[in-house]
Amino acid sequence: MDSGDLKIEWARQYMPVLGTIADRFRKDKPFEGMTIGMALHVEAKTANLVKTLAAGGAQVFITGCNPLSTQDDVAQALDRVDGVTCYAKRGCSVDEYYSAMDAVLDAKPDITIDDGMDLIHRMHTSRRDVLTKIIGGCEETTTGIHRLRAMAEEGKLEFPVIAVNDTPMKRFFDNVHGTGESALTAIMATTNNLIAGKWLVVAGFGYCGRGIARKASGLGAKVIVTEVDPRRALEAYMEGYHVMPMNKAAEIGDIFITTTGNKDIINEQHFKLLKDGAILSNAGHFNVEIDGAWLNKNAEQIIERDGIQSYLINGRTIHLLAEGRLVNLAVPKGMGHPIEVMDLSFALQALGTRFIAEHHTELKPGVHAVPDSIDREVASIKLASLGLGIDTLSADQEHYMCSWDVGT
């Protein structure tokens, strides 16, 4: 095996859910005779999704969704897989990037799988020629979904798309545990800082914020939560965290992680209050949560280290990780979400794709949620892969659940 195969194989063994689904696909061939076009980050975890789809009988054509996220050895290994053609190349030019995308579309996919809706966008603009054959698509990102919803509302989305994003499984595992662990790992591996004893500020107490807060606390940090919602703030207080506004947290914090989904969470007024050596990072999707533009414009001095920009402000140095981009992916040592978490997310993709293949005639053009049964099925397969059993309701218990006159 060469290095690409080794990486794919490494991820494979920690992706039992996708493995179970691949076995089913191999037997059922739900994509027999179909072509699937994909634009995703081409790295080892994704490669296992691609191979799962190919095992289901699909001809898969894939390219990258970002020129910098492709791993060339993985791309080459994928291209050698039966039924898979891979056009992704790291560091390609803009022209090469879009040529690769067009090459995928030239294969006339029945189904598309997007991470940022690049393929779907192109099909509705310069490549409307391929709209004739398409039966549906899957889209993973929040951003992509929102743009698709806008298109759908204007009546411009011409086929059904499954929003593989907002399910309970994604929120619980991807956000709480995936972001929770990998953001902390990325910060520790990049800064060589100790977490124990530190004041760690988490902006936002949604699913990502909760995960980070609990795990940082588990490592011995004192966690400060900032929020705009009084109920979430009170929840954070009751779980033992410190609650305060950011302009107070700014004076205390050693390490900051933003998770709000909103902009300017740490901004000019806070930069001026930070302690010397404070470390700022973002675990939200976009790099808007920390106002890096202000820092780049106003700092007295800027120093670059691997994954760290240091700014001199009023005689104090503050550090911004990865330019405020998603810290678990964007620092040099970042590996994105842990494999096991992507196993669950890509399992939703694989079953969502099968759902389109089998039910597209029942689906109108527009954005559709992942059926709840698929979300639960992924949980069940994961439990089975762990050898964990659960209880089932007896008929009597089912009846009790529904009849509120009993037992009162």
Residues 279-308 that bind a copy of itself (CB under 8 A): 286, 288, 303, 305, 308
Amino acid present at 385: S
Comparison of 132 and 403: residue with beta carbon closer to a copy of itself: 403
Q: Which of residues 338-357 bind a copy of itself (CB under 8 A)?
A: 338-341
| Residue 186 CB contacts under 8 Å (≥ 6 apart), including other chains | 281, 321, 327, 328, 331, 333, 334
For 202, list phi and psi in degrees, rounded to 5.
Answer: -110, 115
Q: Which of residues 133-192 bind a copy of itself (CB under 8 A)?
A: 143, 146-147, 149-150, 168-169, 172-173, 176-178, 180-182, 185-186, 188-189, 192
Q: From 268, 287, 275, 223, select the one nearest 250 (Cα to Cα).
A: 275
Sheet holding 279-282, edge to edge: 242-243, 222-226, 199-203, 255-258, 279-282, 316-321, 308-313, 301-305
Residue 89 Cβ, how far from a copy of itself at the closest point, in Å? 22
Comparison of 106 and 372: residue with beta carbon closer to a copy of itself: 372
Sign of CA dihedral 382, 384, 389, 391: positive
Q: Which of 132, 154, 196, 315 binds a copy of itself (CB under 8 A)?
A: 196
Q: What is the per-residue binding string for a copy of itself in 313-342, x denoting contact by CB under 8 A?
A: ----x---------------x-xx-xxxx-
Q: What is the per-residue binding string for a copy of itself in 370-389, x denoting contact by CB under 8 A?
A: -----xx--xx-xx--x-xx
Q: Does 394 bind a copy of itself (CB under 8 A)?
A: yes
Q: Which of residues 94-123 bind a copy of itself (CB under 8 A)?
A: none
Q: Is 231 exposed, middle or buried (0-12, 13-18, 19+ CB in 10 A)?
A: exposed
Stretch that binds a copy of itself, among 51-59, 76-84, 292-300, 394-402 (CB under 8 A): 394-402
Comparison of 57 and 371: residue with beta carbon closer to a copy of itself: 371
Residue 58 Cβ, how far from a copy of itself at the closest point, in Å? 26
Q: Count interface residues toward a copy of itself (CB under 8 A).
A: 99
Helix or strand holding residue 257 (H, E): strand 255-258
Strand extents, DSSP E, 40-120: 59-63, 84-86, 111-114
Stretch that binds a copy of itself, among 56-64, 81-89, 353-361, 392-400 (CB under 8 A): 392-400
Q: Which of residues 59-88 bind a copy of itself (CB under 8 A)?
A: none
Residue 35 Cβ, how far from a copy of itself at the closest point, in Å? 28
Comparison of 36 and 201: residue with beta carbon closer to a copy of itself: 201
Q: What gap in Å lies between CA 232 and CA 230, rounded to an integer?
A: 6
Rg for the chain, CA atoms, rounded: 23
Q: Which of residues 34-53 bind a copy of itself (CB under 8 A)?
A: none
Q: Which of residues 204-243 bind a copy of itself (CB under 8 A)?
A: 215, 217-222, 226-231, 233-235, 237-240, 242-243
Q: What is the per-residue binding string for a copy of itself in 248-267, x denoting contact by CB under 8 A?
A: x-------------xxx---
Comparison of 102 and 264: residue with beta carbon closer to a copy of itself: 264
The DSSP-derived string for 331-350 is STT---S-HHHHHHHHHHHH
Comparison of 32 and 168: residue with beta carbon closer to a copy of itself: 168
The DSSP-derived string for 119-138 is HHHHHHTTTGGGGGT--EEE
Q: What gap in Å lies between CA 401 and CA 287, rounded to an integer?
A: 46
Q: Is 67 exposed, middle or buried (0-12, 13-18, 19+ CB in 10 A)?
A: middle
